[in-house]
Chains A and B, each alone.
Chain A
Amino acid sequence: MSSKTHVTTTINGEDTEFLCEPHQSLLEVLRDTVGLMGTKEGCNNGNCGSCNVILDGVLVNSCLVLAVEIQGRSVTTIEGIATANGLHPLQQKFIEHAALQCGYCTPGFIVASKTLLDQNPNPSEHEVREWLAGNLCRCTGYDRIVRAVMDAAQG
């Protein structure tokens, strides 16, 4: 039986430490240990993108990262997207375009879209759709989501 590991890391800009077992995913620890519930569990096997977080600037599925792997690294979750000045433009545009219905997939879409706009501030519709291929929504279809991202990029 494995023992608990002490992990020190940065989450949403704050120094954070936690204890976890080696088999626990980052998703599990974010939600159950750190208490950040914004990151959602969908498929838990890397298909749906609900659990997307940004690890050292790179988009990953937190269900496919072991929590012990983030020792000394930096994680941004949906809770770290808005600033003290208010919602991130992506969040604002998702509201304006009603780019959600049940909302379960939304954190994953916003985190994924942010990594796109960070590296490509003016993407084509095709680029948006390709970038978001790893995120599944079972309510709205994707048109409103794509429109919200395009609008946020232009704004």
Chain B
Amino acid sequence: MQSFDYIAPKNVDEVISLLASQNGNAKVLCGGTDLIVQLREGRRTTGLVVDVKNIPYLTQVTYDENGLRIGAAASCHQICSDPFVQKYYQGLIDGIHLIGGVQIQNRASVGGNLCNASPAADSIPALIVHNAICHITGQGSSRTLPVEEFCIAPGQNALKAGELLTHIQIPAPQKNFGASYLRFIPRNEMDIAVVGAGASAILDEDRKRFVAVRIGLGAVAPTPLLATESGAFLSGKDLTRANIKEAARIAQSIAKPITDLRGTAEHRKHLCAVLVERALDIAIERAGGQHVQ
């Protein structure tokens, strides 16, 4: 592997000044499940690896009246084994639990999955449907960005040189809310999504009508997508099979997949509608709604 220096700072300020001093020639290390492989294969280069796993501000998963705060370096295992997350953020669990096997779950972070910006990343459509906001800190500045705007191209995120993703904030649990994420792979475990689709729904008091819906898509475009038009279509509509199918059709029309070794564009288009429909069914059920015939 290429040579680099290694440092494990104790606080965020130190990370920020290191990133600033290296002028883009530093890489942040969390679990290393993408970064170490990419450095080894020469797909990324760096002079300095900054290990942030010793900084509690970046590794903790906490919640208060503002919702769930996931430190960018928190491991998938840590998130998936949290009882509060399991109870209220089921779409997130669906997505994160699918990332690799036990060994990868123990090391990989959701912040890393996001920063790696793969079009097929399983956590990102799940974060999108949960309305996640990225919190970013740079030298003397900080900003937020909706998660659907964080990835800008395959392997490229919206961070500017010297900026650090510190945490992801997800709104507090809402009444009559449900979310889910599904992916299609040709085997049972340990594969990269051919297509991924997430859905979340807030239902009205009687749970007969959609109040708000978000659909997130993975592996059908250069970046994970929020299918805004599908959500807008369902908002205020009754829970009917025809409406769900129309929302899935709209999501399919937004999808712009490519053909590669995992599947053809045509296959992905088909899968997109199927998965959106099924993800919506699960989200409705989790929101307390009856299964729509």
Tell which of B33, B36, B37 has the most Cβ of chain A within 10 Å. B36
Query: B102 on the interface (CB 8 Å rule)?
Result: yes
Knowing A23-B39, A64-B32, A69-B51, the reply to whether A59 touches B103 (Cβ < 8 A) is yes
Q: Are B37 and A46 in contact (CB under 8 A)?
A: yes
User: Hey, which chain A residues are within 8 Å of B8, CB to CB?
Assistant: 69
User: Hey, which chain B residues are within 8 Å of A115, CB to CB?
Assistant: 102
User: Hey, which chain B residues are within 8 Å of A68, CB to CB?
Assistant: 6
User: Hey, which chain A residues are within 8 Å of B254, CB to CB?
Assistant: none
A4→B77 CA distance, assembly (Å): 32
Say how far A128's CB is from chain B's closest CB, in angstroms. 11
Residues of B within 8 A of A (CB-CB), count = 30
Knowing A1-B3, A23-B4, A25-B36, the reply to whether A64 touches B31 (Cβ < 8 A) is yes
Query: B104 on the interface (CB 8 Å rule)?
Result: yes
Q: Are B49 and A22 in contact (CB under 8 A)?
A: yes
User: Hey, which chain A residues are within 8 Å of B51, CB to CB?
Assistant: 66, 69
Q: Are A47 and B190 in contact (CB under 8 A)?
A: yes
Query: A60 on the interface (CB 8 Å rule)?
Result: yes
Interface of chain A: mostly helix, strand, loop or mixed: mixed
Which residues of chain A (1-16) have a CB below 8 Å from chain B?
1-2, 5
Query: A133 on the interface (CB 8 Å rule)?
Result: yes
Q: Are A45 and B103 in contact (CB under 8 A)?
A: no
User: Hey, which chain A residues are within 8 Å of B40, CB to CB?
Assistant: 44-45
Chain B residue with the shortest CB-CB distance to A44? B40
Chain A residue with the shortest CB-CB distance to B1? A23
User: Hey, which chain A residues are within 8 Å of B53, CB to CB?
Assistant: 69
User: Hey, which chain A residues are within 8 Å of B29, CB to CB?
Assistant: 66
Q: Are B104 and A134 in contact (CB under 8 A)?
A: yes
Chain A residue with the shortest CB-CB distance to B100? A134
Q: Are B103 and A134 in contact (CB under 8 A)?
A: yes
A130→B100 CA distance, assembly (Å): 11
Knowing A23-B3, A23-B4, A133-B189, the reply to whether A59 touches B31 (Cβ < 8 A) is no
A64→B141 CA distance, assembly (Å): 33
User: Hey, which chain A residues are within 8 Å of B101, CB to CB?
Assistant: 49, 131-135
User: Hey, which chain B residues are within 8 Å of A100, CB to CB?
Assistant: none
Which residues of chain B (11-27) have a CB below 8 Å from chain A?
none
B219-231 CB contact bits vs A (8 Å, 1 = yes)?
0000000000000
Q: Are B4 and A22 in contact (CB under 8 A)?
A: yes
Tell which of B4, B33, B77, B101 has the most Cβ of chain A within 10 Å. B101
Chain A residue with the shortest CB-CB distance to B188? A133
A-B contacts, 14 of them at CB < 8 A, read A1-B3, A2-B5, A5-B6, A22-B3, A45-B40, A61-B107, A64-B32, A69-B53, A112-B103, A115-B102, A130-B189, A131-B102, A134-B101, A134-B103
Residues of B in contact with A (beta carbons under 8 Å apart): 1-6, 8, 29, 31-33, 36-37, 39-41, 49, 51, 53, 77, 100-104, 106-107, 188-190
Listed from nearest, the 5 A-B pairs whose CB atoms lie closest are A134-B101, A22-B6, A133-B189, A23-B1, A133-B101
